[in-house]
Structure formats: C-alpha cells, structure tokens
Structure 1
Amino acid sequence: MSRSDLLAALSARVVVGDGAMRTALYGKGVPFSACFEELNAARPDLVQEVHRGYVEAGAELLGTNTFQANRYRLAAHHLEGRSRELSRLGARWARECARPGLFVAGVVGPLTDPGRASRPGRQERRIAFAEQIDGLLEGGCDAILFASFSDLEELLLGVEVAKLRGAVVIAQLAFWDRDRTAAGVDARAALRALEGAGADVVGANCGQGPRGLLRVVEMLGRYARVPLSVFPNAGYPDFVDGRYTYRSSPAYLASMAERLVSAGACLVGGCCGTGPEEIRALADRLKGVRPVARASVEPAEAPDVAARVESDGGSRTRLARALGRRPLVVAEIDPPKGLRIEPRIDRARRLVAAGADAITVGDSPLAIPRMGNAIFASHVMSAVKTDVILHVACRDRNRIGLEAELMAAASIGVAAVLCLTGDPAGIGAQAGATSVFDLDSVGLIRIAAGMRAGIGALGAPLDRPADFAIGVSFNPNARYLDDQIRRLEKKIEAGAQFAMTQPVFSAKGVERLADAVRALRIPVLCGVMPLTSAQDAEYLHGEVPGIAIPDHVRERMRRVPEERSGAEGIALARELVEAAVANGMGVYLVAPFGAAGGIETLVRRASDLSRSAAPVPTGDDRDPEREVQIEE
C-alpha cells in the first residue's frame, strides 16, 4: 500500500492499532533484561508469532519490534552497529504478516533515558535517528511511529529526520500527570510544535491508562488540525509472583476506546499490558466507527517554564539576598552517624556566631550512612536560626524520591539545595548497598529549577513555588579543567545559581580556579579544608575522590614537627581564604574528618574579608573574550 493510503484510511474510519510488542514477548518468556530488538535477527519466528496474533485479533496497523533499535540503546547490549539492520528486519517481519489492506508503522523510541545530562549532541542524535528510520523504510513501513517521548526537542528532531525522507509521521508523547510529560512538556505546546514540524498524526501513548489519556485526547481534540492517535496502557502494573500484570479487562478498555474516539482519536491501539485479547475487544467495539468531526481552533499559549524560572521574584532567605552581592562564607557540618545531635548543633551555633552566612549539610558523603540530612537541617535551623544549604544526591533515591526530597527541603525552608550526582554506594562501608542514579545532577537541577517556578517534575503546578536557591558542585582539581567548565555550563543552563568547589590546597590553585570561572554567570565558593597532618594530607591526596594536594603543599606539611601540624594547616587555610576573597570568590569551609579545630578562626577571617570586599561582578561585567565555548 502507498503511504498516503494510511492518512486516507484515518480520515474515513477509526483505525485499530496493535498492542504492546514487549508485553507479548515478555509473556512468551523473554525477560525484560533481554534485547528485544535482537530477536528480529535471532528469533524472527517469535516476533512474527506476536504480529500474527494481533492480525488475527483485528489490528489494522502493526508496530515493528524496534522501539529501542537505535545505536545508543543497542550499545547496552554491544549491538550499536546493527541499528539499521535490526530496524530493517523488524519492518520486514511485520510487513510479511500484514494482510492486504493492513498497515505497518516503524516504531521509534527515545534515544536515551530522559533526565541525563550526558546525552549526545544534536548532530549525533540526528544520525542515530536517520540510520534507524532508513532501515524501517527499507523494510517496507507505511509510516514512522514515534512512541513514548517525553522530551519534545528530541521528538521534533526525529520528526524532522523522518519528514526529510518523505515518511508519514505519527508522533506520540507519554503523559504521566494531567497533560504533561515527565519532562514537563505541555500537551498544547507539543501539539503546536509537532503540527508546525509536519507531523501527520499527533497523539499519546503509555504513561497512563485509558482514563488518564482520555483527558489528554479531550484537550487535543479541541485544538488539533491533524488526526489524533492514542495507545493507552492497560491501567497500572502490579508485580505478582515474580511477574508484571495489569488489571484492566478487555471489556473496560473497549468501553474506554469509544470515549477516546468521541474525544477525537481516529487511531486507537494499546501500549503496556495490552495483548491480542484487548485488541480483539477494541476491534469488535470500533468496527465501522467513523472519526468524529472536530472544529479546530488556535491552541492557547502554553506556559513557558524557563521564562517562569527567569522571572522568579526572588527568595526570602538571607543567603539568597546576599548571593552575588558579596563573597559568601559557608561552613559544613555533616549529620551524625548516630542519633546524638547536640554537639553538632553547638558547633553550628559557634560557626554562625563567628560570621558564617549559612551551614551546609552533607548527604551521607563518601556513601557512609548518616542521619537523614533534611531532618538534621531542620534541627539546625530551629536551634541556631541560620540559613542551611542542603546537599541532595542522586545516589540513594529514584526520581520520585528526589522530587519528594526537594519538596521536603522547600517545606522546611532551607535557603539552598546543592544538587549532586553523589559518590557511588560501592565506595562506602555499607555492604550490599547499591546506587540508584535515575538522574544525574543536571537532571536534578532541572527539577529544582522547575519547582522554583512552581512546576513539579511531571509538569503539574505546585501550590507555591519553592523558595530555595540552586547550588552545584565543581571540581577544580581535575586534570582537564576545560571538561569541568563545560559541565558547569550545562548545570548553569539547567538552572544552577551558584557553585561550591572541592577543596583547593594552594594559592596557585585558587588563582587557576578564579581564572577558570571568571567568565561564568554565577558566584563560586572556593572549597577550603585545613590539613591536620602530613599523614592526613597523603591520605586525602591518594585516596579521596576529587581531592588533589600539590607536592609542595604536602612537603610543607612534612617539614613541620607533628605537634605543629594543625597550626600549619590552619595557616595554609588562612592564606587560601584570603586568596579566594581577593579573587572575588566566596569561601566554603570543610572541617577535615569532622575535626572543627580552627574552623571558627577561619570563618571569622573570611567573614571580615567578605564584608569589606568589593561587590561580586555580575554576568554583565564579565570579559566577553574569556567566554567558554560550549560544544553541543
């Protein structure tokens, strides 16, 4: 059939799509850890068995077994060089199973996991889409079906590649909460952009069951100028006896399908949890049904989250008001490894009295278990009446837990959150602990920036914006500092407002740091950690991630008698504090191994210097010739 025949069919009748390929293969014993796309080469009989099941059930459009057949997803199985081949085979097996009058859609999923900062550049992604789409069209597809996207920018890039090849394009996003994707994309904004990019059909799949997607289709149906598609899940999954199951019955899905069609859908199939029984029920219920007539209107403008972040009215905290106006002084106190908090509260009280602008509270650094830092922070804030910078690491929480932690931080009134990827669990002392890393620090920053604009991680409005500033880490001790600068620029683009560095141990290192960050648009707090002995200096340099102590500094510690080591370490730290403030940076003081000796003296010195320092230059004052060039 010609590719235009599909669009003609959609204008004349409701077309029934198939159900989930992966659910069907899972039901036939293929584990979710397997590469489903490799089955196109290794077990074509199994793939075609699924296609034939859907054809017998009444499906008129078959989706290929190619959801993750792009080079980046295939790389997890060491198959990155086979994208075009596996896509072509996937299309071929579906084409062979499609009876005359049926259609084949080449399924294309997101290139990488959302929320990751380290995604490929635009040109690399364009190439990845091209090789997969070329394989699908070579195999005989009537259309390209983009499925389960949450990132609109990436979906638009894929649509562009497909349209350059003259393909009919079905563009679907996954909506997880109301009418927004996991990346916060508003359905109306997506519709407007996709229609403008030339998508022939726009719709929704996955994310929710039919009731949730009904709200999306009802909204799209009021504005769309193109046909609409919908492929809902069979409700929400349950994990029973080691297997994933879905509760929605075929009869329920069929009844909801009628409502989806009434709302404007003309291509209806199923996603996760749907199989031949569900598609048979849909086909029986929708046989002979024509699409409803829709009067389209101009879509209303969707809210721009980025603009809301930029127009944020400002924080009420003392820290945020001082940020960028003078060099700040903060001191770190980690939560206890046990339950006794009084000594640490007393230390925080002394540091604030000495002039610290805020207390910064770690999140089980070095993967060593400590009291939950949000609880400890609330104790500090209550007892000392000071601002707190709360570290939030991606190591121990999934996306749900990270958003919950940020909401908790906003609720207790922390002045700032420091968004960190976090030390891997494997370096800590807790045997058997594993790292989560659903997101990295850049993904976490994006969620935090959205919350400052009053938008949750799934795009749903919060009852009030979060009132914290967003801080990030920066490692000035890296061998290739340019790489760290590029990553810091990505963090700034995502919403970072200030940076705190790993400890620096030489005046030359402070100057190198100041030179590296001078062109950036955010205040930087230079990390300073007093050394306590020559032995500790060797340990920190040789074993602790992110720390590098120059040879001459370690030699300086070795030359002093042991009884004077502590005093020498404080003297060195004082020099670094003075160098940092002289170079326009704030100071982030870290007590080595929890030992607080001399920290108050350093806080007092840093505070005196800070309050007499010249205002911190703003982004408008930076030298344009020193701008860092960022690779896409």
Structure 2
Amino acid sequence: MQRATSKGILERLRDNGVVLGGEGYVFELERRGYIKAGPYVPEVVLDFPEAVKELHREYLRAGCEVMVALTYYAHREKLKDVGRENDLELMNRQAVRLANEVAREGDALVAGNICNTWAYDPQNVSESSKVVRGMYEEQLGWAVEEGIDFVIAETNDYLGEALIGLEVIKQLGLPAMVTLATVQPDKTRDGYDYVEACKILADHGADIVGLNCDRGPATMLPLIEKIRATVPGYVAAQPVPYKTHEGALTFESLQLENGARAFPLGLEPFLHNRFEMADFARRARALGINYIGICCGGSPHYVRAMAEALGRTPAASKYSPAMDLHPMLGAQVEEKDKVFLGDWKD
C-alpha cells in the first residue's frame, strides 16, 4: 500500500523543483558500532532498532525529506554471508516500519530500497535475471505491504540489473528512482556509457534517474551535468562526501600517504567538510538536479548544511553554528572566516 502524505515524490519535484534526500546509513551505523564492516549487512534493523530510528530522526531534523528503509543489502545473497537468511522477511518488514514511524513525525516520504545483488551475471543473463527478479520481488512485496511512497533502486553496476529492478517497481505501480554506481571511468559493467544508460532507464519509465555512491562531488558533477543535458525528466545526484579527483575518480581508489588503499576504513582524511557539501548542493541545484542527496559517508550535519544551502530552515537549524558566541573566538572571528561561515547558508 502507499502511505498517506501531503505530497508524493513526483508532486514535490513538480512543485518545489528539488527534493533533499540523505543516505549513508550503513557507513554511519558502522561508525556508531551497530554494523560490521565487511559484510555491511543491516542486522541493526533487528538487533538495535532504536539506533536506526534515531538516525532516521536525525536526518529528518536536519532537513531530509525521505526516510529510506534500511534494506540495502537486506537480500538473500548478502544475508547468507552472516547466516541470517532466515531473518530476510522480518528484517525487510521491520526496516520499512521503522522508516514509517519516524516519517510520521514530520512530513517525510518513505522509500523502499533495493540495490546491486552481486547475483547478476551478464554472461548468463537468462538465469541470473530470474534470481535477481525473485530477490527484488520479495523485498518490494514486503515493503509495499508495510507502506512506502516510492522506490529507490540504487548502486547499480549493470544497466541490465537496473532494468530488472525498474520493471518490478513499475509492476507495483510505484514511482521509481533508479541510480547507477560509477566505479568504472565511463561505462557500466555491462558496457553502457553512463549518460546513455540513464537515458535508457528514463525511456523505460524511470521517473528519476542519475548517480549515487562511488564518486565525490568533484568527479560526479561533470558526469551528472552531461546526464542533465541529455535526460529530459528528473535527475538525481547522491555523491559520497569524499575528495575524489581526476587521479582517483572513486572513493574506492583513494590512497593514503603510505600508498595503502583508504577504502573503506581509512577514508577519514578525505572527508569533505560541511561547507563543501553545502557548496555541492548549491552547484547541483544550479545544474538543474532535482533530487539532491548524499551517500556512503553521509551524516546528519552534512544534510543540515545542504538544506540550509538550498534556502531551507530545518528543525536542526536551531543549533546551527554561531561562532560570534564562541568563548575563545567571539568578536575576534576574522573577516575571512565570517565569509566562509556565512556564505554557505545563502
């Protein structure tokens, strides 16, 4: 069933131009000690539901308009890794219930969530597609029964897998947001240019298309600009908050000073600050991006900065920085710092 909210995702996009999303639940809950790095399976949904609700609530207060059910990697393929495949239905249902509970505290939407399955095989499309379809159908079947507004199918490495997810979503009669992972320089793992792949998804009925994860703002924005110029409909951008660059297009390829790979546990030196993520939100809006968010590495303080950069005043803005009241700085805050701290709210 669909939830009763004042406006659905497509109405909000039509009326407001921009919807602010926010993800990165798995990374943030791992940092808080509730998810095991490596498998990154959201056992926390069952083991510590209050931790999930609190993170949803922090995102809501920060200005996030969408509570994404924490079902990323809550599919059969990944649950086998931690011996919890028997918890599959309960975990998926509980995740949607938690998202709904917090969404009702504000006027937020609830998104069902499916992702890359690691089961799709472009060398054996016929058989692997059946497996993938079955995984998506059971996850989204439970989500619909618990109540969602739309579905985010994300981090798709293969266009073929993304199209399967899209077909299942449309069969359920729900709005579909489908975003691609961008691990490779310019093409999906099954050989489609990212811009072309987004156009194909839109042509097949995806209501919102775009990119999520892998790339930080610096290496995602040039690609998303091309997508915006090609796709006539709604476009989404949810980068990771890490300083990727031409020499390291993705956060998986970032290296520490000693040459070791930073991903996934040594990424802190590459984190953007809140002002830089606010700047991303402004730049994305200027490009005409409609769904602006954040992915792995995201945190509520980033969402608040992005919301304020978009001209919004969420509940958490009550506690936004006021450096003139700092006991050590106060009136001594230098002019350049005032500009730095002030511009990002414009």
Is the TM-score greater than 0.5? yes
Equivalent position SS for 1:270: coil
> Aligned partners of 1:116, 1:39: CA distance in 2, in Å?
32
Give, in whole Å, the separation in 1 of the partners of 2:311 and 2:93: 31
Relative to structure 1, the CA distance from residue 101 to residue 183 in structure 2 (aligned partners, 3 Å threshold; closer, same or farther) is: same
Instruction: Show the counterpart of 1:151.
Output: 158
Name the residue aligned to 2:114.
Answer: 108
Q: CA deviation at 1:287?
A: 2.8
Gaps of 5+ in 2: 243-250, 257-261, 314-346
In structure 2, how many angstroms separate the alpha carbons of the residues matched to 1:52 and 1:33? Answer: 26
> How much has 1:105 moved relative to structure 2?
1.1
Partner residue in 1 for 2:187: 180
State the TM-score, normalizing by the size of structure 2.
0.77
Structure 1, gaps ≥5 residues long: 290-632
The answer to whether structure 1 residue 6 and structure 2 residue 12 are counterparts is: no
Paired AA for residue 241 in structure 2:
A
RMSD: 2.5
1:27 aligns with 2:34: no
For 2:53 and 2:28, the matched residues in 1 are separated by 11
- In the superposition, the TM-score normalised over structure 1's length comes to 0.43
Q: Choose which of 203, 207, 210 in structure 1 pairs with 2:210.
A: 203
Partner of 2:320: none
Identity of aligned residues (%): 27
Distance in structure 2 (CA, Å) of the matches to 1:122 and 1:129: 10
Establish whether residue 40 from structure 1 lines up as the match of residue 64 from structure 2. no
Classify the secondary structure of the residue corresponding to 1:104.
strand
Size of the aligned set, in residue pairs, is 289
Q: Offset of 1:140 from its aligned partner? A: 1.8
> Which gives a bigger RCO, structure 1 or 2 (Cα 8 Å, sep 6+)?
2
Matched residue type, 1:151 = Y
C-alpha distance in 2 between matches for 1:274 and 1:123: 33
Separation in 2, partners of 1:218, 1:160:
26
Return closer, same or farther for 1:244/1:10 CA change in 2, 3 Å cut-off: same
Does structure 2 retain, via aligned residues, the 8 Å contact 1:178–1:215? no
Amino acid at match of 1:105: A
Alignment of 1:271 with 2:295, yes or no, is: yes
Instruction: Tell me whether 1:251 sits opposite 2:275 in the alignment.
Output: yes
Equivalent residue runs for 1:263-342 within 5 Å: 263-287=287-311
SS at match of 1:19: coil
Matches within 5 A, 1:280-429: 280-287=304-311
Amino acid at match of 1:248: H
Given that 2:159 and 2:188 are in contact with CA atoms closer than 8 Å, whether structure 1 keeps it comes out as no
1:95 aligned onto 2:100: yes
User: Aligned AA for 2:194?
Assistant: A
Cα distance in 2 for residues equivalent to 1:129 and 1:73: 13
Provide closer, same or farther for how the CA distance between residues 209 and 104 of structure 1 changes in structure 2, counting only shifts above 3 A: same
Q: Is the 1:175–1:182 contact (alpha carbons within 8 Å) kept by the matching residues of 2?
A: no
1:489 alignment counterpart: none
Aligned partner of 1:63 among 68, 89, 94: 68
Confirm or deny that 1:262 pairs with 2:294.
Answer: no
What secondary structure sits across from 1:208 in the alignment? coil
Going from structure 1 to structure 2, the CA distance change for 1:244 and 1:211 (only over 3 Å counts) comes to closer
In the aligned structure 2, how far is the partner of 1:257 from the partner of 1:113? Answer: 34
Question: Helix, strand or coil: the match of 2:61?
Answer: helix
2:89 paired residue number: 84
Pairwise CA distance, 1:33: 3.4
2:128 to 108, 121, 125: 121
Please tell me whether Structure 1 or Structure 2 has the larger radius of gyration of its CA atoms. 1
Structure 1 contact 19–276 (Cα < 8 Å) conserved = no
- State whether residues 120 and 128 of structure 2, in contact with CA within 8 Å, keep that contact through their aligned partners in structure 1: no
Residue type of the alignment partner of 1:224: V
Q: Residue by residue, what CA displacement relative to the aligned partner does 1:55-74 show, whole Å, maximum 9, x if unpaired?
A: 12111112121111111121
Matched residue SS, 1:144 = strand
